[in-house]
Amino acid sequence: MLSKGFMEMIKQYIDSLVELTMAMSPYLLLGFLFAGILKVWFPQKWIDRFMGKNNWQSVINTAMLGIPLPLCSCGVIPTGISFYKNGASKGSSVSFLISTPQTGIDSILVSYSLLGLPFAIIRVIVALITGIIGGGITNLIASKDATETKQQSDQTPKENFSRKKSIKQVFQYGFGDFLMDIAKWLIIGILIAAFLDILIPENFFGSYISQDWLSMLMILIASIPLYICATASVPIAAVLMLKGLSPGAALVFLMAGPATNAATITIIKKVFGNKTLLSYLGSIILGAIFFGTLINLLPKEWFDIASDHHHLHHEHELVPIWLQALSSITLISLIAVGYLKRYQKNKKSLRITPLNQTSTDNPSNDSSIINKSNTPAFNLSDFKAVQPLITKTFKVEGMTCSHCKKSVETNLIKLPGISKVLADPQNNKVQFEGSQMNIDQIKKEIESLGYKFMGE
């Protein structure tokens, strides 16, 4: 029989979990809506145009573009590498890799809901400045020979921007693809935050780690190898601040947690080289310490979330309680439905649908199958007169989201002889169709994007 103390702890955990979810849900849903709008109505060609030059203006443009972009932390790396491989300068790519994972429209709104307006604004400013500095330093120390990646391929599929962008597409991406990209880490973040809420005593950091510089250093060391997305890091930071963690140390966690992890460091070293990795890590580490120290010098009442009307335990919420409850139910339902669809899709198809057939499991993703002709239909008879087509499926590890899928498909379609590519992150597979296939070349290209090629 469970003890009374243990039952009380479970009750406290559930209460904390419910309060965190209710406080975040309205702002998360609003963030997902904006994410869908940005994805559907913000042309990719604008990003490509502003990232290509090897100068400060390009770095600034990239940092400004990256801050609101709807990218989960795991999707930032393949997207940034894809930009680089398609002509963006090293500096612009690093600026994107630093500024984008720290923020995002959804995490900005959640920061406002849990940490208050000053923290949300400062978080955006810090992401912008560190992105610009990191990208600028990278451009200054990068090799003069930048021609190796300055080859915009005519074979890259071009999006048809003249087609009407529908509200349905906005909702499909914002409340479908993007939500499911971060759902796992969002759930983990809220569960950890609620656990810390009941585990750590009140004013723990103030009583046991009173020196701000020491708490910042400890958080930094713990955050660099840790993987957590920008949105999921907010409830954890909020709970730690309630336990006495300084605002500066919380900022260190919000910067270093989403922007760095062991896998990211390995990929950046492999793709960009040691000098770029040093400028990337140096900008984040030094920026985190500097701005963490600076934010601790600002008026403490700006960051007193225990008395702020946005605090999750406060009785007078800015958002009505009924709207919080409705938003929480909606968010949980969307995540549950997303996982159910994913489970049904995986159960229904143990193998990838052949590329010359149309999948009925997820019609919204049919257009994501990349082909060089950029035509909606794939007519096998058109190729029989030239050469017989080869179809091969390879296992590829490391793909985690829709951005990974797009990055693999967009870059692999450029290889000679490849006519179609279909990536399946859920099953860790990539299927190719074409007149010829160089497996060594395919492996090299996949690994250059940061994924692990496992063979057939």
Confidence grade of residue 42 (pLDDT, cut at 50, 70, 90): low
> Does residue 20 carry a pLDDT above 60?
yes
Give the pLDDT score at 54: 67
Q: Is 341 within the bounds of a domain?
A: no
Give me the helix-helix angle, 4-41 and 321-348, nearest 10°. Answer: 80
CA pair distance 147, 89, nearest whole angstrom:
10
Within-domain flag for 340: no
Domain boundary among 274, 304, 333: 333
More confident residue, 419 or 356: 419
> Is 339 contained in some domain?
no
Q: Which of 47, 80, 130, 411 is nearest to 272 (CA)?
A: 80
3-state secondary structure of 295: helix
Which is more confidently placed, 379 or 136?
136
Q: Would you say residue 222 lies in a domain?
A: yes
The reply to whether 203 and 289 lie within a common domain is yes
CB 108 within 8 A of CB 70: no
Domain boundary among 333, 361, 393: 333
Q: Report yes or no: 59 and 135 within 8 Å, Cβ to Cβ.
A: yes
Q: Read out DSSP for 206-260?
A: HHH---HHHHHHHHHHHHTT----HHHHHHHHHHHHHTT--HHHHHHHHHHHHH-
pLDDT at position 354 is 56
Q: What is the pTM of this model?
A: 0.71
What is the four-CA torsion angle of 57, 60, 64, 67, rounded to 10 degrees? 150
When pLDDT is cut at 50, 70 and 90, the band that residue 379 belongs to is low
Q: Are residues 445 and 302 in the same domain?
A: no
Pair of tokens at residue 283 = 């900008």
| 100 belongs to a structural domain | yes
Of 53-62, 250-259, 376-385, least confident by mean pLDDT is: 376-385
361 and 241 both lie in a single domain: no
Domain shared by 191 and 324, yes or no: yes
> Could you tell me which of 241, 245, 213, 388 has the C-alpha nearest to residue 305?
241
Environment class of 297 (CB within 10 Å of its CB; exposed 0-12, middle 13-18, buried 19+):
exposed
Within-domain flag for 377: yes
Report the C-alpha gap between 239 and 242 in whole angstroms: 5
pLDDT of residue 389: 79
Q: Quick one: average pLDDT of 86-107?
A: 85
- We report the CATH number of the domain holding residue 440 as 3.30.70.100
More confident residue, 146 or 190: 190
Q: How far is the C-alpha of 332 from the C-alpha of 273, rounded, in Å?
A: 42
How many structural domains is the chain composed of? 2
Averaged pLDDT, 258-275: 81
Whole-angstrom Cα distance, residue 244 to residue 421? 51
- The answer for 165, left when phi > 0, alpha when psi is -120 to 50, beta otherwise, is beta
Judgement on whether residues 271 and 371 belong to the same structural domain of the protein: no
| Residue 314 pLDDT grade (very low, low, confident, very high; cuts 50, 70, 90) | very low
Q: How far apart are CA 127 and CA 373, in angstroms?
A: 39
Please report, in angstroms and rounded to a whole number, the separation of the first and last CA atoms in the chain: 52
Residue 315, pLDDT score: 40
On whether both 164 and 216 belong to a single domain, the answer is: yes
Band (pLDDT 50/70/90 cuts) for residue 124 is very high
- CA–CA distance, 139 with 133 (Å, rounded to integer): 10
Measured distance CA(277)–CA(282) in Å, rounded = 8
Is the residue at 338 inside a domain? Answer: no
Whether residue 388 has pLDDT greater than 80: no
Q: How sure is the predictor about 144, in pLDDT bands with cuts at 50, 70 and 90?
A: very low
Q: What are phi and psi of 211, to 5 degrees?
A: -80, 120
421 strand-pairing partners? 370, 432
State the Cα–Cα distance between residues 224 and 284, nearest whole angstrom: 9
Question: Under a CB-based contact definition with an 8 Å cutoff, are residues 94 and 76 in contact?
Answer: no
Are 96 and 154 part of one and the same domain?
yes
Task: Please state the rounded mean pLDDT for residues 37-50.
Answer: 68
* Cβ proximity of 90 and 272 under 8 Å: yes
Residue-wise pLDDT for 315-364, tens only, equals 445 678 888 899 999 999 999 999 998 888 777 655 555 555 544 444 44
Query: Do 69 and 27 share a structural domain?
Result: yes
370 by DSSP, 3-state: which?
Answer: strand
Q: Tell me what the pLDDT averaged over the chain comes to.
A: 78
* Closest to 123 (Cα-Cα) out of 260, 17, 259: 259
How is residue 443 written in tokens? 């492996």
In a domain, 57, yes or no: yes
Compute the Cα dihedral for 397, 332, 108, 44 and give only its sign: positive
Asked whether residue 354 falls in the same domain as residue 329, the answer is no
Nearest to 219 by CA among 249, 184, 189, 259: 249
pLDDT of residue 133: 93
Contact 213, 292 (CB under 8 A): no
HSE-CB for 358 with a 13 A CA cutoff = 9
Q: Where a domain ends, among 303, 333, 363?
A: 333
Residues 220 and 364 in one domain: no
Structure tokens at 250: 């919380």
pLDDT tens digits for range 151-169: 444 444 444 444 456 888 8
Lookup: tokens for 253: 């966690």
Percentage of residues of the chain with pLDDT beyond 70: 78
**Alpha helices, DSSP H, located in 147-211:** 167-172, 178-199, 204-208
Let me know whether 46 and 166 are in one domain. yes
pLDDT band of 306, cuts 50, 70, 90: low
Interhelix angle 73-85/44-51, rounded to 10 degrees, is 60
Q: Which range of residues forms the domain containing residue 156?
A: 4-333
122 & 154 share domain: yes
